Amino acid sequence: MTGDELKEYIVGHLEGKLKPLESGKHDPLFEVQESDLLTVAQVLRDDENLKFDFLSCISGVDTGERFEIVYSLASLANNLRIDLKVVLSREKPEVESVQEIWPAANWYEREIWELYGFDIKNHGNLTRFLLADDWDQGYPMRKDWDAPDFVRFPELER
Amino acid sequence: MLEYLAVLIFIVAGIGIVLFTFFFARLLRPSNPYPEKTINYECSELPFGSSWVQFNNRFYIFGLIFVIFDVEAVFLFPWAVAFSQLGLYALIEMVVFIVILFYGIYYAWRKGALKWV
Amino acid sequence: MSGLLTQEFTVNMGPHHPSTHGVCRLILTMDGEKVVKIEPVIGYLHRSMEKICENRTYAQCVPLMDRFEYVTAMSAEYVFVNAVEKLAEIEVPERAEYLRVIMLELNRIASHLIFYGATAMDIGALTPFIYGLRERELIIDLFEMTCGQRLTYNYMKIGGVSHDIPKEFIPKCREAVKIIGEKMSDYEGLLNENPIWLARTKNVGVLPTDLAKAYGVSGPVLRASGVKYDIRKNDPYSIYDRFDFNIPCRHNGDSYDRYLLRLDEIRESLKIIIQALDGLPEGDTLKKVNPFNFKPPAGEMYSRIENSRGEMGVYIISDGTTKPLRVKMRGSSYNHVQVLPKVATGVLIADLVATFATLDVIMPEVDR
Amino acid sequence: MGIIKKLPVYSEKIPGGGLVLTSLDAIFNYSRACSVWYLLFGTACCAIELMCTGAARYDFDRLGMIFRATPRQADVIIVAGTITKKFAPRLRRLYDQMAEPRYIIAMGGCTVNGGPFYYDCYSVEKGIDHIVPVDVYIPGCPPRPESLLEGCLHLQKKIKTQTISDWQEK
């Protein structure tokens, strides 16, 4: 299935739950509401000729004004690859944990919780992970984060 | 009497060399123990929990059985070397020795000591 | 004997340990020699690469990608450069594509040779370490000849490769390929039928197929568990569809299969290199792009390639400025450490070390 | 450590004492310099270069340097790789657990002052000289095995200039 057929098939199959975005350059990118993320993920994994059983990675994104979380999925059986994007609210970013569908998500979500501060609901063990044990300076990967010893790369004027 | 003197010198020299190497190094090397140095090394982490626990000593039992039969082999060597001059009597003697030890391993085997848990 | 009352104790297989391939800490709850529970603690090499990439221009991110995965630095560079070229639709000249494939495959062999040496050293054999690294030096000479560095090459630029190969590269490369082809029999003769090696790795750390897929395991570890999936074949990038090579695949997923599979992959890579050397066209090697104000169009892109450890991916979001908005680096070792507790509990600690070695984990991919 | 502590004091009084002290220094320093055992320690990219230096072509054994897995038996830590804020206390503990006389070789740009991770980085220690006392710095990212060998030769020169009298304070 090429990119466009895949897009129609998925949009047709999951009527209204997700809409394709143009910013996905190479593989189809869909936007999903946070509420029906789990149902979409369940369908994508179990549908007969989709079978996205391989979760490549989950990327937390802070675009300066909004938070997003992107799931990159792949299907080993049918050689397909898509991305799912969920836009989160700026004040209280929280998202459902997709751990039951893809167990690989455990550590990715834990890392996003620690570096971005998204609250992952019923994840299980959201504990200190990558940062130093006595880290208390907030969520470092956010764009508006700063710290006393955080040295910015000087702007080289061209 | 003179021979015993040689044995005495031999013993004194043996013990002396051991003690010398052991204590002379202690005099020469710098020793500066302080608390951070004397915690035991656990992959650069602070050791937690205690290692004073009861554990399954399957290796210890195997080691014990091995030592018994290693010593048996030590006794076999002189006999095997001088086998031709010793004649029939030594042969019977050694066979009895081996049978007794064979009974030992049979006992350990039946008792389940050789079972790998 | 089994009715003994035995207590468990916890011990650190901690950040500084000869067999944790860097700084990964495993908190082990042990019952005598048997490992009851493993809890990996990572983060000792978390160098916040993704935060750094957000304040660098695209050309400046490439040397940083070398440090993301330094054993196969060429593949780390390639995955980033490939993503940017697809975002900006840049056509790479033919000769550069061939040079890239040659460098990628040479780097895969170098990485498998380090795997061969390090795994054998973890399990207790010291000679393979010297064997493996002796042949690897031949490959490092080739890299040094073209881009001047031994480990972090900064060789691939956006739009091609930075330097063309010198004259004596091709004969030296053919000679290196021939020597490694011959030395493969030494490697296999040393370990394949070695009874100690078999006892230490046969059906040790068996990773069933569904567990492997569920935990996002990829690369030789996945192919050793019976899933014949290789991104070079299933989702070909660059010019891999022009070369014919097959994908070794084994089925019982234990440490011995993972070890054998990587030796087979060295042979496949040798075949690819020979075909690429024969088909190397003439022409220029870089479609010049001004690195200082290079602005790819806004968009998002997840590019993934098959490096020696598994699927390596980069998710780039560009907002049309000279600096990427977000660069998410995906290393396959991240999933391999995550699957380790599921694979290596209830075994003796010696088997845990063998399993951890054959999963071929290196820490920058895990901690980034 | 009884006699050696008082040896410099006595040797000043005896007329030929200085000769005894310097010759003893020479023996100690020569034996220590020619068999510096390094700790098997590597966090990042420099560790691969350390492995290559330990392997067949750039052999460490020529300098008498053998890798030891525990700090108890090591004389020098070749800090090969980036030291993050999470790992700094561990490095300090490793250094503490080594027996005197002990040395530190800071290998690679990251250990000198943070290297490529100096700017925009929230989790890397900018250089290790405020964690452990460093004897030899080796620049490079990663430094070539030849420069690592040269660093070790510098360390040997440094060991050969030491005297017993300055052991007392360390």
- The one-digit pLDDT tens for each residue of chain A (158 residues) are 677 888 888 888 888 788 888 888 888 899 998 888 999 999 888 888 888 989 999 999 998 888 999 999 999 888 888 999 999 988 888 899 999 999 999 999 999 999 998 999 888 888 888 888 888 888 999 988 888 888 888 887 66
Phi, psi of D87 (to 5 degrees): -95, -15
Residue C209 pLDDT: 92
Q: Are residues D12 and D87 in the same domain?
A: no
Q: What is the pLDDT of residues A89-98, one digit of tens each?
A: 888 888 999 9
- B116 pLDDT higher than 80: no
Whether D167 is covered by a domain: the verdict is no
Total domain count, chain D? 2
Between CA A127 and CA A105 the distance in angstroms is 15
Question: D116 near C64, Cβ under 8 Å?
Answer: yes
* Whole-Å CA distances, C325 to A137, C55, C313: 22, 9, 17
Mean pLDDT of chain B: 87
What confidence score (pLDDT) does residue C1 get?
Answer: 46
CA C151 to the chain's CA centroid: 13
pLDDT above 80 for C263 = yes
- B27 vs D: CB within 8 A: yes
Per the CB < 8 Å rule, is C86 touching A152? no
C178 has pLDDT over 90:
yes
Q: Is A26 within 8 Å of chain C by CB?
A: yes
Over residues B17-31, the pLDDT tens digits come to 999 988 888 877 777
Q: What is the DSSP string of D24-92?
A: HHHHHHHHHHTTPPEE--B-SHHHHHHHHHHSSTT-SGGGT--EESSGGG-SEEEEES--BTTTHHHHH
Taking CA atoms, what residue in B is nearest to C16? B43
Q: Considering only CB atoms, which residues of chain B are within 8 Å of chain C?
A: 42-45, 47-51, 53-59, 112-113, 115, 117
Query: What is the nearest CA distance from C192 to chain B, expressed in angstroms?
Result: 27
Q: Which residues of C touch A69 (CB under 8 A)?
A: none
Domain ranges for chain B: 2-111
Q: Which fold has domain A3-93?
A: Beta Polymerase; domain 2 (3.30.460)
Q: Are D124 and A149 contacting, i.e. CB atoms less than 8 angstroms apart?
A: no
Q: Which residue range(s) make up the domain with D151?
A: 36-161
**Which ranges of chain C would DSSP assign to H, the alpha helix?**
49-53, 58-68, 73-88, 94-123, 127-147, 169-191, 195-201, 209-214, 220-224, 231-234, 255-278, 333-343, 349-358, 363-367
**Choosing among A151, A155, A156, which should be mutated to test the D contact, i.e. which has the most D CBs within 10 A?**
A151
Which residue carries 């039946």 as its tokens? B110
Same domain as D155, residue D93: yes
A125 contact C CB<8A: no
What burial letters (b/e) apply to B26-52, b meaning 16+ CB within 10 Å?
Answer: eeeeeeeeeeebeeebbbbbeeeeeee
Taking only the tens of pLDDT, chain D with its 170 residues reads 556 777 777 777 888 778 888 888 899 899 999 999 999 898 999 999 999 999 889 988 889 999 998 999 999 999 999 999 999 999 999 999 998 889 999 999 999 998 899 999 999 999 899 999 999 999 999 999 999 999 999 999 999 998 877 765 54
Q: At residue C126, what are phi and psi to the nearest 5 degrees?
A: -95, -25
Chain D closest CA to B58's CA: distance in Å? 27
Q: Do C14 and B50 touch (CB under 8 A)?
A: no
Q: What is the pLDDT of residues A58-97, one digit of tens each?
A: 999 998 888 999 999 999 888 888 999 999 988 888 899 9
Reduce the DSSP state of residue B104 to 3 states and report it. helix
Contacts of D97 in chain B (CB under 8 A): 36-37, 39, 41, 44
Claim to verify: residue D59 and residue D116 sit in the same structural domain: yes
Inter-axis angle of helices D145-160 and D45-54, nearest 10: 80
Mean pLDDT of chain C: 91
CB A73 within 8 A of CB C330: no
Domain ranges of chain A: 3-93
Average pLDDT over residues B40-67: 85
Residue pLDDT, tens place only, C73-124: 999 999 999 999 999 999 999 999 999 999 999 999 999 999 999 999 999 8
Burial class (CB in 10 A: 0-12, 13-18, 19+), C181: middle
pLDDT over 70 percentage in chain C: 99
Specify the pairing of strand C299-307 against strand C160-161.
Answer: unpaired
Same domain, D41 and D21: no
Cβ contact C7:C34 at 8 Å: no
- Whether omega before D142 lies within 30 degrees of 0, making that bond cis, reads yes
Q: Which residue has the higher pLDDT, C325 or B28?
A: C325
Instruction: Estimate to the nearest angstrom the gap between the alpha carbon of B95 and the chain centroid.
Output: 26
Q: Which domains does chain C have, with CATH numbers?
A: 9-367 (1.10.645.10)
Q: Answer positive or negative: Cα dihedral of D162, D163, D165, D170.
A: positive
User: Are residues D40 and D102 part of one domain?
Assistant: yes
Same domain, D75 and D110: yes
* Chain C: touching chains (3 or more CB pairs < 8 Å): A, B, D
Region class of C299: left (phi > 0), else alpha (psi between -120 and 50), else beta: left
> Is the same domain home to D66 and D149?
yes
D150 with D66, same domain? yes
Q: CA dist D63 to A135, D53, D146, D155, Å?
A: 42, 11, 13, 11
Residues B50-74 have a mean pLDDT of 86
In CATH, the number for domain B2-111 is: 1.20.58.1610
How many CA within 13 A on the CB side of residue A101? 21
Interface of A with D in 123-152 (CB under 8 A): 130-133, 137, 140, 145, 147, 149-152
d(CA D80, CA D115): 12
